[in-house]
Amino acid sequence: MTAPAHTHEQHLAELLTIRHTMGHEGRPSDFRYCSLFCLLLHEGSSFTPAPLPDDVEEGMPGHCWTEALLLAERTGLYYVEGVALYFGVLIEHAWCATADGTAVDPTWSEPADAYAGIPMEAADAGRIIRGQHHPVLYVADGMTVGDLLRTGLPEGLAADAGRRFTPA
């Protein structure tokens, strides 16, 4: 029997908190966040796993950033980058989401147990990804990962979707 989704979501939040706590040691004093896990915990949202809708064709595994972006552009869903708890393993991942926080994951045949990420409008994500040739959280509008950790997300990049974490 599968545990309720909120249990998996709580476990994902606990894993992000542990990574956040571990990362503070040695963090440069001018950095707002110690890691991408910390950034997700403070600026990200959680998303509810759901089966892929019947009208959405499964994409190619291993190409989550591309498949999620193309689906978001075709459908008007939000594009999301972050991490997924998949069979107990924390994996960097990209998927789509509805405004109410339902994950639409085009590259895994089974949804993850829980999702945490930064939702974005498809147009914003597409502009950054196509311009930089990297996922948004690696290079956003010319900002490196270090820049993101130092200052946080660019103003207006995160969309209002999913459920915001309440850091302890």
pTM for the model: 0.88
Count of other CB atoms within 10 angstroms of residue 132: 15
71 Cβ partners below 8 Å, 6+ apart?
Answer: 56, 59, 77, 96, 104, 106
Backbone angles phi, psi at 101, to 5 degrees: 100, 15
Can you give the pLDDT at residue 1? Answer: 38
* pLDDT beneath 70: ranges in the chain: 1-6, 20, 22-27, 139-143, 166-168
Q: In terms of C-beta density within 10 A (0-12 exposed, 13-18 middle, 19 or more buried), how is residue 157 classed?
A: buried
89-97 and 78-86: which strand pairing?
Answer: antiparallel
The answer to whether position 122 is within a domain reads yes
- CB 121, CB 159: distance < 8 Å: yes
Can you give the pLDDT at residue 50? Answer: 96
The answer to whether position 167 is within a domain reads no
Long-range contacts formed by 151-158: CB under 8 A, 24+ apart: 151/32, 152/32, 152/33, 152/39, 152/43, 153/39, 153/43, 153/118, 157/118, 157/120, 157/124, 158/43, 158/44, 158/118, 158/119, 158/120
Backbone angles phi, psi at 62, to 5 degrees: 85, 0
Query: In which domain, by residue range, is 60 found?
Result: 5-162
The answer to whether position 151 is within a domain reads yes
Backbone angles phi, psi at 65, to 5 degrees: -65, -45
Q: Which of 117, 84, 114, 97 is nearest to 52 (CA)?
A: 97
Six-digit token string for 13:
């939040």
The answer to whether position 133 is within a domain reads yes
Can you give the pLDDT at residue 88? Answer: 86
Domain count, the chain: 1
Six-digit token string for 8:
């998996």
